[in-house]
Amino acid sequence: VMLQDGEMESRKLDSFLNRLVFSSFALISLLLRIVLEVIGGAGAIWGGAEVVKLRNADNAELWRWLSIGVGVLCFARFVTLNVPYKEDEGDILGPAGPWSLRLSLRLRAVCDHPFHYFVRALPPSTPKKKVD
């Protein structure tokens, strides 16, 4: 992982426009993942059954419920794989969050882990002093 060039880069990434762009990428990525991984799984059962001539007018309701069942399983898988957990390391979005990566890697990290971007990506802060 390549770190940025320092504080100047961090200030540049703290802009409203930058946050808007990365939030947009994360939101679009999240919506696309839901469509592809959840709705796509349910639709594959429905369409696949029709292609191989298992689904017809007589059993369409059965295949509708099977498709919904697969969609629920796909959603459970989606949540399991994408929701961040407390024990996740911060390096999913870079060692110090998404701002610690170069632009191309940062975009990829945000698109690969959109939930993490919204839940765990906080702006860089100044180091806290230990109080004894």
- Return d(Cα 35, Cα 13) in angstroms, integer: 30
pLDDT in tens, 1-52: 344 444 555 555 567 887 788 888 889 999 999 999 999 999 999 999 999 9
Query: For residue 101, what are its two tokens?
Result: 């990566």
Segment holding 70, helix H or strand E = helix 60-82
pLDDT in tens, 61-103: 999 999 999 999 999 999 888 777 666 555 555 555 555 557 7
pLDDT score for 17: 82
Could you tell me the pLDDT band of residue 106, with boundaries at 50, 70 and 90?
A: confident
Q: What is the mean pLDDT of residues 105-122?
A: 73
pLDDT score for 90: 53
**Residue among 122, 124, 92 at smallest CA distance from 109:** 92
What type of residue is 61?
Answer: E
Residue indicated by tokens 């060039």: 5
Predicted structure pTM score: 0.67
pLDDT score for 35: 95
- Return d(Cα 76, Cα 116) in angstroms, integer: 17
